[in-house]
Structure 1
Amino acid sequence: MIRFALLLATASLATLPARARQAPPTPLPMPPAVPLPRDTPYPGTIALSVDATDLTHRIMSVHETIPVAAPGDLILHYPEWIPGAHGPTGPIELLAGLVARAGTATLDWRRDPVDMYAFHVPVPAGATSIGIDFQFLSPAIEGQGRVVMTPAMLDLQWNTVALYPAGYFTRDIQVAPSVRLPSGWQFATALGAKGPADPDGRVQFGAVPFSTLLDSPLYAGRYFERLDLDPGGKVAVHLDVVADKPSELRVSAQQLAGHRAIVQQAYRLYGSHHYDHYDFLLALSDELTGEGLEHHRSSENATDGNYFSEWDKTADGRDLLAHEFTHSWNGKYFRPADLWSPDFNSVPERDSLLWVYEGMTQYWGQVLTARAGLWTREQALDTLAYESAMMQSEVGRSWRPLEDTTNSPIFVRRRDLPWPDWQRGEDYYLEGMLIWLDADTLIRARSHGTKSLDDVARSLFSSNDGSFVTRTYRFEDVVKALDGALPYDWAGFLHARLDRRGGSAPLDGLERGGYRLVMTDQKSPLFESFERERKIRDFSFSIGVVLKDAKVVEVAWNSPAWKAGLTEGDSIEGIAGMKFQDADDLADAITQAQHSGAPIQLLVTSGRTYRTIQVEDRTGLRYPHLVRSGNDHSSLDAILAPKG
């Protein structure tokens, strides 16, 4: 009976007239778009007040008073595209408790149905300003996002605590910011304070364009030290340090001299400065999340608490400050045209020239670190060896050109990748750096040492000394600057390295500079520092695995470990029938396999599953080094030497 009824119903539907049948769905029309920005002044000055005293809950409370000229729909944006992040990373999920008022009346705001970073606020007739209140729920643990607030310090990034009116260039929106800090805390920022903190701990700053505000983060802390890096200089340059404890603030005369030398070596290289003052903001902490973010008149730098106190163990990453300082010239003053935007929401960034913005900055950051004496020549060479080996092992080059990796921060958003050497992450940093080493040594060789990439840097960055008004550039401008140092087919040179699939990493600069990359069974001191700071053991150049205790945290694509079936998240429980104690057991097994020819027997767990695997490898332990080549030139040594 049921089957008969279904047949009857189907027959009845078939006899319906065509006009009675249901039409297929079509898309609803899109709502009106958020207005694009106009280059016209916003009427009035926004008052922005942040209370950052709730250290227990790590919550910042925000109040804004936004002038309005007429009733209607006021659209407010929360910044989405954060300069230096190269992607849409504004942490809007951490905004909560949003309330809008006109006088004492609460207004029924609504989020835009398409643009999740836009809020519509109905401005009533007669209102001259709108009050906005919300909280920024600063992460308490790194799984929630970057930790920026601890019991001892604060990294206040203004983009996290501010809404701004849509429809205007952000340089045309004036903001008067203030912040209330915990009692006794000191602070540093590129912003100019109007005076000392009031009795309630509130500091008021002068009005600035909204774009300048977001480019001027504030570091504050219970333990604070300010060091002059250019005594008697034309403009003030300071190193502003906050730390977890007072002992981490002690800076030796030699350490201070090295940081002062960064400034002088940069001036000799670039022949200019593009700020009226500059602040290296440096957080030394095991609680605050690490950071390196460029700004025009300052930089955010957060690293381990032992940066100064265990100087001999922290060479790895010591180029952070020089890298971010270089961005004041390359990236902030001189910026790719497709990375410049009139606001932080309406025009998505395009990252096509990050191999200049970041790749060249990576190059100059490391060169300046060596020239300043913060690295010895050996430490600089060991760093270059490790980075060259990393890029040489990027097997994803077979399918994905370097140029395409500039898109990674937009769609990956700097999340961890399961197979980074196959997927390729932001390789424009390190492989871009190798391209600029290649170019530098080529210019030096063909000009017989009379020209170098230093000349290119001066050509690009030396104009308008003292001005911090951004200039933009395109690919053709980079080629022109290279041609100015040495006439050559630079467009072909760059495209051959940016667009190709397959082949090896661009290591010609090493050979031309007098060195070649080799592998030995001995770690360099820099490699040991790298492992110690990250609390890992790195066998990625041997069997292709990185361990943290017994846990596998990375496996190289198509490596011996990969072919044997190891994957990220596995744990090694035993080796050759013996209980796994530590990574030294695996190092011994790799060495034994090299001599015996027998596979490495591993007992591995994955969740609740045990399995035995065999890793076939005969190459032994492998760690990268640079050694002198047969080349008579030693231009790499000249590149790393300080400029007098």
Structure 2
Amino acid sequence: MKISFLYILFLGLIVFNIDNIKAQQKTFINYTVSMENPEQHKFQVSMETTITETSDFVMPIWTPGYYQKMNFAQYVSDFDVRDKAGSAVTWKKRDENTWTISADKQTLVTITYNVKATRAFVASSYLGIDRGYIIPGALFLYPEGKINEASKVQIKPINNWTVATGLLKLKDKPFTYYASDYDILYDSPLLVGPLESLPSFTVKGIPHYFVGYKMGDFDKEKFIADVKKIVESASDLIGHIPYQDYTFIAIGPGQGGIEHLNSTTISFDGGGLTTADGRNKLYNFIAHEYFHHYNVKRIRPIELGPFDYKKGSRTNMLWVSEGLSVYYEYLVVKRAGLMTEGQLYDNFKNNIIAFENKPGRHFQSLIQASYNTWSDGPFGRNEDEINRTISYYDKGPVVGMLLDFKIRNATNNQKSLDDVMRKMYTKYYQQLKRGFTEAEFRTETEKIAGTDLTELFEYTTTTKELDYQKYLNYAGLNIDTVTRVLPTSYTGIKTRMRNDSLVVSNVDYESPAWIAGIRNRDVILTLGQTAVNVQSILDIEKNKKANEIITFNILQGGVKKEVNLKLENKLNKSFTISRKENLTELQRRILESWLTKN
């Protein structure tokens, strides 16, 4: 098939007549991206725009959807500015991500620079001999104070490569795309390479596409049928589809995904579909990123738009945007018929175990984890002596489950958290066309519940212990929180080999190793007089008994030490979730509607 037909078929991009666009927007900022010598891992970027006497141009420090400072500007080199006649125009680097360009009068200039792109990661641009991946915020400068400017982007692919993106494709302009403003441009990554298109499908008459690089060998028709079920389940929950087409962009093997208004970029390897556990993880992942086009892109905290590309946009509400998206990824997949009831309970069990086993639950609240993700990371800090952080990916979905069951019980199963999400979508996105505040989210939730929800919201603002039994009982569910003594002993150490040294990678807070004085990054030299490896620690826990003393020779901060570790019994709570027997009528209705209906 011809390339132009492929784009229409698998990208579903709306074809715009350039004259119609000009009628709507008289001026453009024009970008051209080349990828000569891809083995050098550098994109060549050309930016054509008009400047006044002095104009600042900024490279974002982050990309929306990945709440970390990325310092994209550090990868820019060979910066140059020329006027229409080809003469050099004066410029200087004002700060780490701002360039100031000066001219005597209003001048059409061409700004050129290279961007090094070596990291194959969903939040970073990458270029190699095999493919290219463009994070627009990592490649395109914007004129300061003018994020509402429209732009055109022309890609110059090599080796007959094709392009996948959510950007609008211009008619009769090969590999040329349009963004009405910088929020749209920065929200639309591009994958370039020898791409494969899976069969397209429609939901409510709207086309959906799945395009990717090295997706692997799997039953692609079955997979696409399942992805369609996921889209149907999620869109049925909200009751509306806001885009004109949607593209799943599989960027290759790896980890991570980022959501966008009409696309998502996901690390993807179809080989994971060969096992039940692999399918469960992959379908949850796809459902999570897809549901984000509702929850965070449209149902969004008010701080997340317009974005602050120079400093980042902090919010206390990522527990809603991310945590509740985890909650709904499970329900979307279950209601799509792609997950068993047991798998659903196990997913929540795993979140609870991850949360309960972190000492950070005693120190950091959900809203603090949300706000501090810029420094802590989405999964919490790992380098501290005491891990005082949590992940909103773990506690968020659990609080979402408890909140949902409370609403269902309080309203005699007439309302649910689904109704809250629909209300936030229709009122704040469709009607008010803005994000919501913390107070508004709580107010709308309590209105739908018809009752005060102080305890549930205290679970987000404090470190108060979660009352699992109370809220799961509303749905006729039991959770096993009994502490049991396991037959193995316990050190509290996790290790890894680094070169020829056994390095401590984690020490559980208040564990036997912690009490003995062993800390992260210590090197274990010997056990007594015996050489060690990772298996040595595992053998201790398997073969030794509680109260036995193990002598460790360690290197701590460059100083050799001998420490005596007293083993303890390994204690465990399973947090297994299961149905109770003899449910009340209300419990039965809550559970069945939660499992099967929106």
Q: Tell me which interval the TM-score lies in, with the shorter structure as reference length.
A: 0.7 to 0.9
Maintained 8 Å contact 1:570/1:606: yes
C-alpha distance in 1 between matches for 2:561 and 2:281: 36
Q: 1:74 to 1:469 in 2, by over 3 A?
A: farther
Q: 1:604 to 1:370 in 2, by over 3 A?
A: farther
Q: Deviations over 1:313-348 (max 9, x none)?
A: 464464221111111111111221122226523x75
Give the superposition deviation at 1:388: 0.5
Q: How does 1:357-436 map to 2 (within 5 A)?
A: 357-412=321-376, 417-419=382-384, 422-425=387-390, 427-436=391-400
Q: Kindly provide the amino acid, as one letter, of the partner of residue 439 in structure 1.
A: L
Q: Which moved more, 1:294-303 or 1:632-641?
A: 632-641
Maintained 8 Å contact 2:512/2:568: no
| Residue 202 (structure 2) pairs with residue 231 (structure 1) | yes
Report the 3-state secondary structure (helix = DSSP H, G, I; strand = E; otherwise coil) of the residue aligned with 1:205. Answer: strand
Report the 3-state secondary structure (helix = DSSP H, G, I; strand = E; otherwise coil) of the residue aligned with 1:553. Answer: strand
The correspondence for 1:555, drawn from 507, 522, 525, is 507
Maintained 8 Å contact 2:125/2:134: no
Give the superposition deviation at 1:435: 1.4
Q: Deviations over 1:367-406 (max 9, x none)?
A: 2233334443333322221210121233234343332222
**Counterpart residue number, 1:527:** none
Give the superposition deviation at 1:73: 0.6
C-alpha distance in 1 between matches for 2:61 and 2:592: 43
Q: How does 1:154-173 map to 2 (within 5 A)?
A: 154-168=132-146, 170=147, 172-173=148-149
The correspondence for 1:241, drawn from 198, 212, 226, is 212
| Residue 33 (structure 2) pairs with residue 62 (structure 1) | no
Q: 1:408 to 1:311 in 2, by over 3 A?
A: same
Q: How does 1:7-406 map to 2 (within 5 A)?
A: 44-68=27-51, 71-103=52-84, 104-112=86-94, 115-125=95-105, 127=107, 129-140=108-119, 146=124, 148-168=126-146, 170=147, 172-194=148-170, 203-228=175-200, 230-231=201-202, 233-243=204-214, 248-286=216-254, 290-303=255-268, 306-308=271-273, 312-313=277-278, 315-316=280-281, 318-341=283-306, 344-345=309-310, 348-406=312-370
| Residue 579 (structure 2) pairs with residue 626 (structure 1) | no
Report the 3-state secondary structure (helix = DSSP H, G, I; strand = E; otherwise coil) of the residue aligned with 2:60. Answer: coil
Maintained 8 Å contact 1:419/1:557: no
Maintained 8 Å contact 1:123/1:130: no
Largest Rg, 1 or 2: 1
Maintained 8 Å contact 2:428/2:436: no
Q: 1:197 to 1:74 in 2, by over 3 A?
A: closer
C-alpha distance in 2 between matches for 1:90 and 1:249: 37
| Residue 492 (structure 2) pairs with residue 544 (structure 1) | yes
Give the superposition deviation at 1:235: 1.1
Q: 1:613 to 1:175 in 2, by over 3 A?
A: same
**Counterpart residue number, 1:525:** none
Give the superposition deviation at 1:312: 4.9
Report the 3-state secondary structure (helix = DSSP H, G, I; strand = E; otherwise coil) of the residue aligned with 2:406. Answer: helix
Give the superposition deviation at 1:238: 1.8
Give the superposition deviation at 1:241: 2.2
Identity of aligned residues (%): 18
Q: 1:159 to 1:231 in 2, by over 3 A?
A: same
C-alpha distance in 1 between matches for 2:467 and 2:41: 44
Q: Deviations over 1:494-514 (max 9, x none)?
A: 442222245458675445441
C-alpha distance in 2 between matches for 1:635 and 1:588: 49
Give the superposition deviation at 1:62: 0.4
The answer for unaligned runs of 5 or more in structure 2 is 1-23
Q: 1:464 to 1:390 in 2, by over 3 A?
A: closer
Q: Deviations over 1:544-582 (max 9, x none)?
A: 343445543222222333223333334556557655455
C-alpha distance in 2 between matches for 1:552 and 1:635: 49
Q: 1:79 to 1:43 in 2, by over 3 A?
A: farther
Maintained 8 Å contact 1:187/1:219: yes
C-alpha distance in 2 between matches for 1:641 and 1:153: 41
Give the superposition deviation at 1:80: 2.6
Q: 1:271 to 1:207 in 2, by over 3 A?
A: closer
Maintained 8 Å contact 1:591/1:620: no
Q: Kindly provide the amino acid, as one letter, of the partner of residue 494 in structure 2.
A: V
Q: Deviations over 1:450-491 (max 9, x none)?
A: 3322222222225699x799531112332233234321113x
Maintained 8 Å contact 1:64/1:133: yes
Q: Kindly provide the amino acid, as one letter, of the partner of residue 30 in structure 2.
A: A
C-alpha distance in 1 between matches for 2:592 and 2:525: 49
| Residue 458 (structure 2) pairs with residue 496 (structure 1) | yes
Report the 3-state secondary structure (helix = DSSP H, G, I; strand = E; otherwise coil) of the residue aligned with 2:328. Answer: helix
C-alpha distance in 1 between matches for 2:248 and 2:433: 20
Backbone CA RMSD of aligned residues: 3.6
Give the superposition deviation at 1:227: 3.4
C-alpha distance in 1 between matches for 2:370 and 2:428: 29
Maintained 8 Å contact 1:573/1:604: yes
Q: Tell me the TM-score normalised to structure 1 length.
A: 0.77
C-alpha distance in 2 between matches for 1:173 and 1:443: 44
Give the superposition deviation at 1:611: 4.9
How many residue pairs get aligned? The number is 562
Q: Kindly provide the amino acid, as one letter, of the partner of residue 211 in structure 2.
A: D
Q: 1:304 to 1:572 in 2, by over 3 A?
A: farther
Q: Which moved more, 1:510-519 or 1:232-241?
A: 510-519
Give the superposition deviation at 1:96: 1.6
Maintained 8 Å contact 1:402/1:497: yes
Q: Kindly provide the amino acid, as one letter, of the partner of residue 546 in structure 1.
A: K
Q: 1:341 to 1:126 in 2, by over 3 A?
A: closer
Q: Kindly provide the amino acid, as one letter, of the partner of residue 329 in structure 2.
A: G
Give the superposition deviation at 1:217: 0.8
Q: 1:618 to 1:331 in 2, by over 3 A?
A: same
C-alpha distance in 2 between matches for 1:574 and 1:478: 55
